[in-house]
Amino acid sequence: MLKTGKKIFYILWGVLLIYLLYRYVKNPEIFSVHYIKNFISSYKGQIMLVYVIISFVRGFFLIPSTPFVIAGALLFPDKLFLVLIISMVGIMLSATSLYYFADILGFSEYLEKKYPKKVKKWERKLQSSKATFLVLGWSFFPLVPTDIICYVAGIIKMPFKYMFTGVFLGELVLVTFYVYSGSMLGL
């Protein structure tokens, strides 16, 4: 039963990713900050609710948060602290779900068989209390997806508190920068 559920999940996830890739190739502007801002703005009465839902759900599809954080700053220039809180909650929901679902999705067994030495190496790095700093640095660096370190932390069974703290602190600095610099784009 669990294997059937995994297969269905993989198929649905794959179909969604292929669809999004198709949409991106066909019309890349729909993933631009400007388009996202206009899309969200079209829901005048429910704009904040739509923003919250999108911010919380986007992580389940491994969509980067940056365009949504900047769009939030542009849409709500008078509520930047709220945009920061919503963005951080969305990021931490994504980090937590990737951490806990990493093993359920079955990739850990595959990676342990395929790359046993690398898995052991990352296991050593991510088991110490200093691992928080590794995760923090990874989360703060904007060119690498934070989702990867959360996923690896879940597979390796890194203590959750180290992963959570590192992601929170790294992303807090980055998201704060995005929110307040993103709001300047709308001037």
pTM, 2 dp: 0.71
Q: Is residue 23 part of a domain?
A: no
Instruction: Look at the chain and report how many structural domains it folds into.
Output: 1
Q: Is residue 46 part of a domain?
A: yes
Burial class (CB in 10 A: 0-12, 13-18, 19+), 116: exposed
How open is the CA angle 12-26-33, to the nearest 5 degrees?
85
Q: What is the mean pLDDT of the chain?
A: 82
173 with 141: CB under 8 angstroms?
no
Residues spanned by the domain of 102: 2-17+28-185
Q: Is residue 114 part of a domain?
A: yes
174: confidence class by pLDDT, cuts 50, 70, 90? very high
Percent of the chain with pLDDT over 90: 19
Which span out of 84-98, 141-155, 173-187 was modeled with the highest average pLDDT? Answer: 84-98
> Which helix (H) or strand (E) segment is 154 a member of?
helix 146-156
For residue 186, pLDDT beyond 70:
no
